[in-house]
Amino acid sequence: MPIYHLTILPLAKWARKKIDKIRQSFLWKGEDNAHGGHYLVNWPTVSRPKDLRGLGVPCNKLDRLLFQASTTVMIGSGFKAKFWHHSWLDGEAPRNLAPHLFELVRRKNKSVAQELTNLAWIQSLRRKITTTTQVEEFVSLWIRIQPVSLQQDVDDTLVWKWTHDGLYSSSSAYRAQFLGSYMKRPSP
């Protein structure tokens, strides 16, 4: 299949996996097929930034977790931020503050505005709270939510923790993966 077809036709999942396996094998061993122990490169080194003696290759699926840990949401109208998933409540996501309550909720992707209107988040938990842990999480979450007020004509905004202006940049996200890293000095 010519490569330009791939711009409009989705490639089957099995084909993507096969191509990725060939690419990874070549990177690791320099051949079509690599089996354990024959690596040409050290992946932790390859994925480091160039100035830390890596190749600058993008990292892995942990990027999404990094993004979630690196952002907070400033609530305006509450229409964009997800009540359970985004870190809008004192810089934390309610699912992390009340994980046992999060398990009880059926519709987990409602916005902050939807859940705060008429206290819908409380209604969604009605008759489901049965343990003392759930009661404690409910009370703690309720106390944190009390001072929150929505501003109808103000958009929710995302604040990035790794830049001075709070704006996301891919370079700051990439560098954040290596916070706490250091570079060994070359031996003389």
Q: What is the pLDDT of residues 10-36, one digit of tens each?
A: 677 887 777 777 766 665 555 555 555
Average pLDDT over residues 127-147: 95
pLDDT one-digit tens code per residue, 67-81? 778 888 899 999 999
* The pLDDT value given to residue 54: 76
Among residues 104, 125, 126, 113, the alpha carbon closest in space to that of 83 is found at 113
pTM of the entire predicted model:
0.60
Percentage of residues in the chain having pLDDT higher than 70: 78
* Banded pLDDT at 155 (limits 50, 70, 90): very high
Q: Is the pLDDT of residue 57 over 70?
A: no
Which residue, 47, 92, 48, 90, is CA-closest to 68? 92
What are the start-end ranges of the H helices in 5-93?
13-29, 43-46, 62-70
143-171: average pLDDT = 91
Dump pLDDT digits (tens) for 90-134: 889 999 999 999 999 999 999 999 999 999 999 999 999 999 999
Query: Are 112 and 88 in contact, with CB atoms under 8 Å apart?
Result: yes
Is the model more confident about 143 or about 176? 143
